Amino acid sequence: MGSEYADSAAVAAAGSALVIVYVIAIVFCIIAFVAMWKLFSKAGEAGWKCLIPIYNSYILFKIVYGNGLKFLLLLVPVLNVVIGIVFYFRLAQVYGKGAGFGFLTLLFPEICLPVLAFGKSEYQGPIDSFI
């Protein structure tokens, strides 16, 4: 009888921990959506566009490069890794930040994107380059 109680207590504790993890994940998702909405708005795009998968990538590439179709380069193996890395540096650049912030954005986007969105950074306009 004692081991059944211990087993149910362990299951209850694991369930409680799981609920906490889910709540934290939902909070981070909400912060990410609000930050992307704000980034889109700063660039003159409608914020709701960040909510649509694939289309939001198109708009992000349009914000960074001026041509959203460049996001199709993400479909090319190996090149997609290079473009993905360069993209974060360019994203920081179009919002007035330097290469150091771009590197931090590459490593910690969930922290740096809200900083870009809610900070004093302003959209500078797209970068005219191949990648």
Mind listing the pLDDT tens digit for each residue in 55-66?
A: 999 999 999 999
**Each residue of 3-28: pLDDT tens digit?**
566 678 888 888 899 999 999 999 99
In this predicted structure, what is the pLDDT of residue 8?
82
Say what the pTM is: 0.83
Flag whether pLDDT at 85 surpasses 90.
yes
Question: Domain tally for the chain?
Answer: 1
Q: Is residue 45 part of a domain?
A: yes
Contacts of 88 (CB under 8 A, 6+ apart): 102, 103, 105, 106, 109
Q: Is residue 123 part of a domain?
A: no
Backbone angles phi, psi at 66, to 5 degrees: 85, -15
In this predicted structure, what is the pLDDT of residue 10?
82
Q: Is residue 131 part of a domain?
A: no
Tell me the pLDDT band of 2, cut-offs 50, 70 and 90.
low
In this predicted structure, what is the pLDDT of residue 3?
59
CA atoms within 13 A on the CB side of 108: 8
Q: Is residue 130 part of a domain?
A: no
Q: Is residue 41 part of a domain?
A: yes
Instruction: Please give the Cα distance from 54 to 58 (Å, whole number).
Output: 6
Q: Is residue 127 part of a domain?
A: no
| Angle between the N-to-C axes of helices 109-118 and 2-42, in degrees from 0 to 180, rounded to the nearest 10 | 40
Q: Is residue 128 part of a domain?
A: no
What range does the domain containing 103 cover? 2-118
Q: Is residue 34 part of a domain?
A: yes
